[in-house]
Amino acid sequence: MSKKGESSQLLREFPDFTDTMHSLVAMERIPAGVVEECREAVAMARRFNRTVARSYALELDRRMQEDPTFLPWELVEEANRWGFFTMWIPKLFGGKGWSLSSISPFVEELASECLAITNLIGVHYFGYSILVATWNIRLIDMISREVVEGEREGRPCLVSGAVTEPEAGTDAEEVELLARARVRCHARRVEGGYVVNGRKIFISNGHLSTWHILIAYEDLERPDETMIAFAVKNGMPGFSFGRMEKKMGQKGCPASELVFEDCFIPDENLLVAASQLTGMKRGARELGMQLIDFVVSATRPGVGAMGAGVARGAFELALRFARETEVAGKPLINHEWAQCLLAEMYKNAALARLSYMEANYSNSMYGMAKLLSFKPLYYYNRLIPTSMFDRWMPAANSRQATTAVFRKLVMDGQSDAEARRASGWASLAKVAGTDLGVRNCQLALELMGQAGLRHDRRAEKCLRDAKLLQIYEGTNQLNRLNVFKCLVAPAAPEARAFED
């Protein structure tokens, strides 16, 4: 068979609607309570926007422009008072245990006001997701309880996720690329632990976080087979903060450099070493990537939701402007071209929302949220108060056996087809939401003319902030290739998507 024939065999036809509309299937499988939680989360975000974010967003942006080393502690403390850093920590670990699906509508709502503030709050769950995806129950429990304690005592305890390096961004997040990635963060085995050397860059909230979930590699020549994750706490000898990036948007959320110079990390802070996981269905290489995939499949829809939020925010700014402004003797909103443009923006915001919702449902069925979306477990988690869990869970969570059971259940319990579904839909939602978000910001500026360029009108800030969404959590180009690999040609898991 010709080469052309071979590659066309890998592709599948566009699936029928029952295969792409996870929301339909979810109606049967996913507890109805999830929708109620989404509503409550949105209402809370709306109140926060009204009372905190609206008045602070522009001031924060200006302040960071003048002094890029400023750290917005006040805002972190305020978000901590609102309880945002424990909402999506499972009750099993002392948190409030909201379902993962409700984080995206919450994020969308926050993002309709300010993306920097949204990322400052939301990215805590990026770090937290990496922690959870290691399924090291002892450390998840310990760190979660510190976050909860920090909330109770008014001393915020945030978690950052450190994957990106100076020479490896997208590469560090994709299985086909990691084998050839120029990663430099090295972990050397020594007695009682590891010595880590290397640097991580663009780590959101780095300077504001207490814990950092670090991805390193035991062999830099074989990073895909030797991925290793650690929980690093501020103050560990050999760990320090480097520069803060001076970036075009989302200025209120610092992007930090983390520096590791002969940093000794004791065994008790080892989260997982892919090469040491025994008795699992997958080998070290696949396990390492399953870890990354668990995370980005859960968090990329969130980035899509941020795109949906800014798409909405830009639409609302444009609508208000069109109502208030008179052009050629009549309100701008009465001009047909303006109506078409506003309809286009409305459509973009709605499509962005639909795609992240679908991705969330897909994740609830196939990804990280699968276990807690299982109806009996969901209701158990929802209805039993945290204090009851607190009585017996810490002791159980500290046992090695609990970690082993979770890893077996969750990691081995996910089939390759399920992983591809969750991953493909996450990338799809990320690309769709963020592209539509940027598009709406551009359209708002088109409609608003010179008024849109003024800082106090917020539209130019929306565009500066939105552009960053297309880059983080894997560039949109690479996410498109992941859509190809996972959804267009899923029959070939090693799909040609990333080949030279």
Ligand X SMILES: Cc1cc2nc3c(=O)[nH]c(=O)nc-3n(C[C@H](O)[C@H](O)[C@H](O)COP(=O)(O)OP(=O)(O)OC[C@H]3O[C@@H](n4cnc5c(N)ncnc54)[C@H](O)[C@@H]3O)c2cc1C
Spatial distance between the Cα atoms of 436 and 111, rounded to a whole number of angstroms:
14
Q: Taking CA 185 as the corner, what is the angle to CA 180 and CA 190, rounded to the nearest 5 degrees?
A: 120
Query: Shortest approach of ligand X to residue 152 CB, angstroms?
Result: 26
182 binds ligand X (CB under 6 A): no
203 binds ligand X (CB under 6 A): yes
Rounded alpha-carbon distances, angstroms, from residue 300 to 178, 295, 306, 321:
19, 8, 10, 32
User: In the set 101, 112, 250, 386, which binds ligand X (CB under 6 A)?
Assistant: 250
Q: Is 272 helix (H, G, I), strand (E, B) or coil?
A: strand
Q: Applying CB under 6 A, which part among 109-117, 166-174, 353-361, 397-405 lies near ligand X?
A: 166-174
164 binds ligand X (CB under 6 A): yes
Which residue number is nearest to ligand X in terms of Cβ?
169
Spatial distance between the Cα atoms of 301 and 318, rounded to a whole number of angstroms:
25
Q: Applying CB under 6 A, which part among 302-310, 337-345, 364-372, 464-472 lies near ligand X?
A: 464-472
Q: Applying CB under 6 A, which part among 82-90, 133-141, 200-208, 336-344 lies near ligand X?
A: 200-208
User: In the set 97, 169, 304, 437, which binds ligand X (CB under 6 A)?
Assistant: 169
Identify which of residues 43 and 248 has a Cβ nearer to ligand X in the complex: 248
Joined tokens for residue 476: 């949109």
- Where helices occur in 325-413 by DSSP H, the ranges are 336-366, 370-373, 375-383, 386-397, 400-406
Joined tokens for residue 375: 């109806």
72 binds ligand X (CB under 6 A): no
Q: Applying CB under 6 A, which part among 22-30, 71-79, 161-169, 444-452 lies near ligand X?
A: 161-169
Identify which of residues 204 and 427 has a Cβ nearer to ligand X in the complex: 204
Query: Shortest approach of ligand X to residue 173 CB, angstroms?
Result: 6
136 binds ligand X (CB under 6 A): no
Residue identified by tokens 């402007």 is 321
26 binds ligand X (CB under 6 A): no
- Where helices occur in 98-231 by DSSP H, the ranges are 103-111, 115-122, 124-133, 137-152, 175-178
Note the residue count of the chain: 500
Indicate the pairing of strand 270-273 with strand 326-327. unpaired
Spatial distance between the Cα atoms of 112 and 453, rounded to a whole number of angstroms:
18
Identify which of residues 171 and 257 has a Cβ nearer to ligand X in the complex: 171
202 binds ligand X (CB under 6 A): yes
Spatial distance between the Cα atoms of 481 and 353, rounded to a whole number of angstroms:
22
Q: Is 252 helix (H, G, I), strand (E, B) or coil?
A: coil
477 binds ligand X (CB under 6 A): yes
Spatial distance between the Cα atoms of 154 and 111, rounded to a whole number of angstroms:
25
Please answer whether residues 22 and 365 qualify as being in contact, where contact means their C-beta atoms are separated by less than 8 angstroms: yes
Q: How many residues bind ligand X (CB under 6 A)?
A: 25
Site string for ligand X, 320-359 (x = CB under 6 A): ----------------------------------------
360 binds ligand X (CB under 6 A): no
Q: Is 262 helix (H, G, I), strand (E, B) or coil?
A: strand
Contacts of 286 by beta carbon, 8 Å cutoff, 6+ apart: none
472 binds ligand X (CB under 6 A): yes
User: In the set 72, 94, 97, 161, which binds ligand X (CB under 6 A)?
Assistant: 161
Identify which of residues 37 and 174 has a Cβ nearer to ligand X in the complex: 174
Q: Applying CB under 6 A, which part among 6-14, 366-374, 405-413, 475-483 lies near ligand X?
A: 475-483
475 binds ligand X (CB under 6 A): yes
Cβ atoms within 10 Å of 499's Cβ, excluding its own:
7
List residues near ligand X by CB under 6 A: 123, 126, 161-164, 169-171, 173, 177, 202-204, 250, 255, 468, 471-475, 477-478, 498
